Amino acid sequence: MPPNAPHSTLDTRHFVLHFRLPVKHFATITVIGRDKTGVVARITSFLFEQRANIEALEEQVTRGQFSMTIQSSWKTGHLDRAALAAGLQRLARDLEMEIKVRFTEPSHRQRMAVMVTREPHCFEKIIGALSSNHLKRADLALVLSNRRDLEPLVRKAKVPFRHVPWENRQKAEQAALRILDEHEIDFIVLARFMKILSPNFVWRYKNKILNIHPSLLPSFPGPQAYRQAYEQGVKIIGVSAHFVTMNLDEGPIIAQDCFMVRPGMSMKEIVAAGQKLEATTLLKAIKLYLDKRLDVYWGVVKEV
């Protein structure tokens, strides 16, 4: 091209294009009450009217008690939170059921509640991981306990502590659920919490309650797992982190670890070795949960 010929150039500095993925809004809806016909149809039809996409739905009837968990999403601009909440309240009255909605935006840090009794080792591991920034996607919003043994440790960590006596399980669970709602809890970690949660409690946090059990489940369920293993002379003892379900110590397993029993190892030494594994295995399960690498399919945890 001659030096003085007209020419056209494209300055790409002025043509930078920004592509944004569509933003979606998410909510978890729980429905609990006496079983009756038409509940699923009424609620899913209402969500359709609210322009929701139902991504997952799970329902169950146990001894006449109906429970359902729905994971829903909305495209940007399609979610009317006020209309959704008002409509679900109307349905709750009409159906005589408890219906709750929790908005679970994937970008926000997860608000974690830890439930404890008296053993500190798992709680201390969680506090250490938070202090060292090894749990980057969670904030410890609450520690709830049926005893006051660990209150000084919790206060030292500058975490809200709530004590709920557990003499009457129904009243205790109702109080605990109110406190969890007040603190807008996303998921719960049972760090050696030595009380059994009822189906009524568990269904409100479906696949959002993590527990650590001192055995290689399904072996030795129940509260005396180390003693059972010791008395039966097993050569390998382990621990299991799992989701809590309505059936004691039968929830989907997230992570496990074990150690060899040395000849002549005392019960005290076995418990000490097991407690170290409890803390590290529970922490591993929490990290997997926060990394959104877990999916429960037909009662089995799959890493995705």
Strands (E), the chain: 24-34, 53-62, 65-75, 98-103, 110-116, 138-145, 161-163, 187-190, 209-213, 236-243, 253-260, 294-297, 300-303
pLDDT reading at 198 higher than 50: yes
pLDDT reading at 250 higher than 60: yes
Q: What is the mean pLDDT of residues 229-254?
A: 92
Tokens standing for 152?
């000084």
Query: Where do the structural domains in the chain lie, given as residue ranges?
Result: 24-103, 110-303
Strands of 24-34's sheet, edge to edge?
53-62, 65-75, 24-34, 98-103
Looking at 45-54, 87-96, 124-133, 199-208, which range is the least confident one? 199-208
Dihedral in degrees, nearest 10, Cα atoms 57, 61, 64, 70 = -10
The confidence score (pLDDT) of residue 298 equals: 53
pTM for the whole structure: 0.81
Spell out the CATH class of 24-103: alpha beta
Q: State the pLDDT confidence band at 172, using cuts at 50, 70 and 90.
A: very high
The catalytic residue positions are: 249
Contacts of 220 (CB under 8 A, 6+ apart): 228, 229
Does the fold of domain 110-303 match that of domain 24-103? Answer: no
CA distance 164 to 147: 7
pLDDT reading at 5 higher than 70: no
The confidence score (pLDDT) of residue 162 equals: 98
**N-term to C-term CA, the chain:** 57
Q: For the chain, what is the total number of helices (H) and then of strands (E)?
A: 8, 13
Q: State the pLDDT confidence band at 53, using cuts at 50, 70 and 90.
A: very high
Contact 210, 188 (CB under 8 A): yes
Tell me the fold of 110-303: Rossmann fold (3.40.50)
What percent of the chain stands above pLDDT 90?
70
Q: What is the mean pLDDT of residues 96-105?
A: 88
